[in-house]
């Protein structure tokens, strides 16, 4: 029986094949050229790293195309592994939702770096461009999800997960809102409120990161939280924290993870809106302290209930 890593590699390979097939079929029907984004992304990364592809003319262009294809394959495999690991950890989406989530993750892994490096601006895309990208990545997600559903790991066979209740979903949403305000709370709050299985060193480290973020938030040079580099760790921390809350309750983490992601978006833009509204009414550090307090209360409300429950342990049958 496959382990989570091996299954993820297979799922990523199947999904990447499906994505390529969908893209080539679109080229057949529409007569469009192949996307130049992978090639230009390779050039942009090489420029940032101060590297130069060897060769000249067509020889260099061929190497650039090859690197672009290899990066795409690597992205597909990595996303497949991430989806497999999440499923083994208890985040088990239904087939349609899982296909959309995996496809969206792979799409973001390509489009976000391209946008950050100035290779492509999604705001300038046409409806046809968006549709082509979305359909191709949905095909990827369907391929990944098909493998995950068909090939359960030994751990998944030994452990069952109950559907997440409304209370857990709500608390995951609150944790996401807190993480949107203070990104370190997504990982720190579940760890700090867990009585078993988390070392004192880990708790102290995560608490210190929260304090450091709260102090840095008051500095004028701190970047806006809603940039891609600011949002990514917030989403990652909140969804990981929500998955930990689901483990406490022996529940499927799919709904809590989605709720946490939604809460993160609300907390990030809501917190930014609060700071802009308060800018002309009070010193920024006071507005920041109020936001700190709200984020801590939300995180505590999300993580204190259920902290005494014994985590799910796989029992061999």
Q: What is the DSSP letter of 36?
A: S
- Asked which of 158, 188, 221 is the last residue of a domain, the reply is 158
Residues near 177 by beta carbon (within 8 Å), at least 6 away in sequence? 263, 264, 266, 267, 270, 295, 298
Domain identity same for 117 and 186 = no
Domain identity same for 191 and 278 = yes
Residue 310 falls inside a structural domain: no
pTM above 0.85, yes or no: no
Domain identity same for 90 and 13 = yes
Q: Percentage of residues in the chain with pLDDT exceeding 90? A: 57
The stretch 282-286 carries a mean pLDDT of 92
Report how far residue 211's alpha carbon sits from residue 296's, in angstroms, rounded to the nearest whole number: 11
Evaluate if residue 196 carries a pLDDT over 90.
no
E-strand spans in the chain? none
| Helix, strand and coil percent figures for the chain, each rounded to 5 | 75, 0, 25
Domain identity same for 153 and 197 = no
pLDDT category at 56 given cuts 50, 70, 90 is confident
- Asked which of 101, 124, 158 is the last residue of a domain, the reply is 158
Residue span of the structural domain in which 208 resides: 166-303
User: Domain count of the chain?
Assistant: 2
Chain mean pLDDT for the chain: 89
Evaluate if residue 309 carries a pLDDT over 70.
no
Cα radius of gyration (the chain): 22
**What's the pLDDT score for residue 313?**
46
Please tell me whether residue 198 adopts helix, strand or coil conformation.
coil
Residue 230 falls inside a structural domain: yes
């Amino acid at each position: 029986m496959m382990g989570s890593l091996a299954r993820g590699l297979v799922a990523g390979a199947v999904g990447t094949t499906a994505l390529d097939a969908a893209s080539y079929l679109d080229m057949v029907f529409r007569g469009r050229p192949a996307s130049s984004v992978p090639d230009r992304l390779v050039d942009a990364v090489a420029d940032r790293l101060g590297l130069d592809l060897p060769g000249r003319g067509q020889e260099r262009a061929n190497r650039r195309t090859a690197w672009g294809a290899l990066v795409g394959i690597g992205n597909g495999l990595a996303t497949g592994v991430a989806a497999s690991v999440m499923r083994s950890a208890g985040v088990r989406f239904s087939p349609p939702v899982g296909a959309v989530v995996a496809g969206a993750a792979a799409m973001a892994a390509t489009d976000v770096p391209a946008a950050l490096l100035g290779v492509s601006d999604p705001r300038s895309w046409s409806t046809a461009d968006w549709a082509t990208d979305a359909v191709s990545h949905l095909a990827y997600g369907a391929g990944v999800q098909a493998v995950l559903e068909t090939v359960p790991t030994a751990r998944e066979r030994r452990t069952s997960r109950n559907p997440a209740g409304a209370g857990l979903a709500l608390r995951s949403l609150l944790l996401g809102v807190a993480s949107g305000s203070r990104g370190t709370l997504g990982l720190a709050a579940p760890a700090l409120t867990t009585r078993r299985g988390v070392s004192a060193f880990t708790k102290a480290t995560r608490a210190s990161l929260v304090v450091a973020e709260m102090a840095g938030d008051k500095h004028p040079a701190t970047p806006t939280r809603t940039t891609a580099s600011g949002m990514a760790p917030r989403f990652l921390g909140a969804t990981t924290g929500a998955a930990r809350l689901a483990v406490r309750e022996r529940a499927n983490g799919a709904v809590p993870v989605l709720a946490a992601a939604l809460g993160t978006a609300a907390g990030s833009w809501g917190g930014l809106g609060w700071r802009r509204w308060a800018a002309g009414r009070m010193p920024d550090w006071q507005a920041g302290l109020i936001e700190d307090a709200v984020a801590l209360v939300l995180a505590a409300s999300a993580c204190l209930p259920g902290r005494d429950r014994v985590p799910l342990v796989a029992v061999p049958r």
